[in-house]
Structure 1
Amino acid sequence: MILVLASLSYFVWQNEDFQRKYLYPYDYQDTINFYADRYEVDRNLVASVILAESKFRQDATSVHGARGLMQIMPETGSWIATQIEDDSFSVDKLYNVNMNIKYGTWYLSELQTEFEGNEVLALAAYNAGRGNVYEWMEKYHWDINFKDYTKIPFPETREYVKRVLENKKHYNKLYK
């Protein structure tokens, strides 16, 4: 009986339809695809960040005050609004799916450009702030080719980068 249950569990967990629905959903796919294309960011990376940040809950709020699907801090949202010349910004609008994905995807694009396409550094900056990443680069003598996320000194950021990269592998497999 245990072997049957174990086999059934394995089948369910390996079933791609199950994984798409329960483990790696792709809610708001049209919006994600639109802004990923607009800002030249990998679509599955955006979905992976959303899964890690909010599990696709548009009303998510962190203990630090980050808001929405991509968990944007109000100060970061305000700064993004000035960069993209969006006069319609308000903190409450960070819960709006369209605005949150637009801002978060633009910010990912900005970080990827800043870190010359290095996803590990860009994701670390998305989570811990670009200032921390530059400090680590200087302190630990990392260059722009740094890839070993296990060396990131903040445990939360290290786990975040690992989770997003693992999510992206699954999204790449499930949503080719």
Structure 2
Amino acid sequence: MIQKMQMTKRRRRIRVKKRFFLILLAAFLSLLFLKSDWLAHWMYPIHYKADIRASASNYGLEPHLVAAIIRAESNYETGRESHKGALGLMQLMPDTAHWVVERAGFNKVTDDMLRHRADISIEVGSWYLDSLHTQFDQNQVAAVAAYNAGPGNVRKWLEAGSWDGSMDTVKDIPFGETRHYVQRVFYYYNKYKDLYPEF
């Protein structure tokens, strides 16, 4: 009899604990859904906002686009070098970076600075992105594709009619890496525009 009563008490305690944890879980999930902006901002942060705004403003670019490229390229981690040798937040190839530094007149910018300093990587990368916009008649999608594949490849695709330079036909981009890159950049771009409209 005593054992039965103890078993019954244990079962009740277990049921009470289960209910408590279910209520706690339901409250937590509700909070996540109610505060989904908080969750979205946590999942899609923008770092180096002041540097991005300044460089985007210097070259007439949308800061959301610069931020999206940084997210796709390095996920805001300085000091990165890709297996192909691309450097820094905006993952510029050294030859491209040296060309930009020379053309733009950026004095004393080294590969080490590009690799480790967010402000310099963002400035040099934004200058390059602006030059791509100019080369492709302000076609944002073609400029982003050229940021990944190089302007020569994108020009060939457009001239040959392989791709028309629009987001609607991004599936026609001949390089799979570039196709996915463009899709990823514009996914982040649209996400950032929704989450940070005042950016």
Q: TM-score, normalised by structure 1?
A: 0.89
User: In percent, how many aligned pairs have the same letter?
Assistant: 38
Which blocks of at least 5 consecutive residues in structure 2 are unaligned? 1-21
In structure 2, the CA distance between the partners of 1:44 and 1:13, relative to structure 1 (3 Å rule), is farther
Aligned match for 2:126, one of 65, 90, 105:
105
Q: How far apart are residue 57 of structure 1 and its match?
A: 0.3
Alignment of 1:75-90 (within 5 A): 75-90=95-110
1:45 — aligned with what? 65
Structure-2 separation of matches of 1:172 and 1:14: 18
In the other structure, the counterpart of 1:140 is 161
Match of 1:160? 181
Name the Cα RMSD after superposition. Answer: 2.1
C-alpha displacement of 1:24: 1.3
| SS of equivalent residue, structure 2 residue 141 | helix
User: Which of the residues 158, 161, 170 maps onto 1:149?
Assistant: 170
Distance between the aligned counterparts of 1:32 and 1:14, measured in 2? 27
Against the structure 1 CA distance between its residues 66 and 126, is the aligned structure 2 distance closer, same or farther, given a 3 Å change threshold? same
Point out where structure 1 has 5 or more consecutive residues left out of the alignment: none
For the pair 1:173 / 2:178, whether they are aligned, the reply is no
Q: AA paired with 1:126?
A: Y
In structure 1, C-alpha distance between the alignment counterparts of 2:177 and 2:30, rounded to whole Å: 30
Deviation of residue 61 (structure 1)?
1.3
Q: Is the 8 A contact 2:52 2:63 kept in 1?
A: yes
Alignment correspondent of 1:122: 143
Partner of 2:38: 17
Say which SS state the counterpart of residue 84 (structure 2) adopts: coil
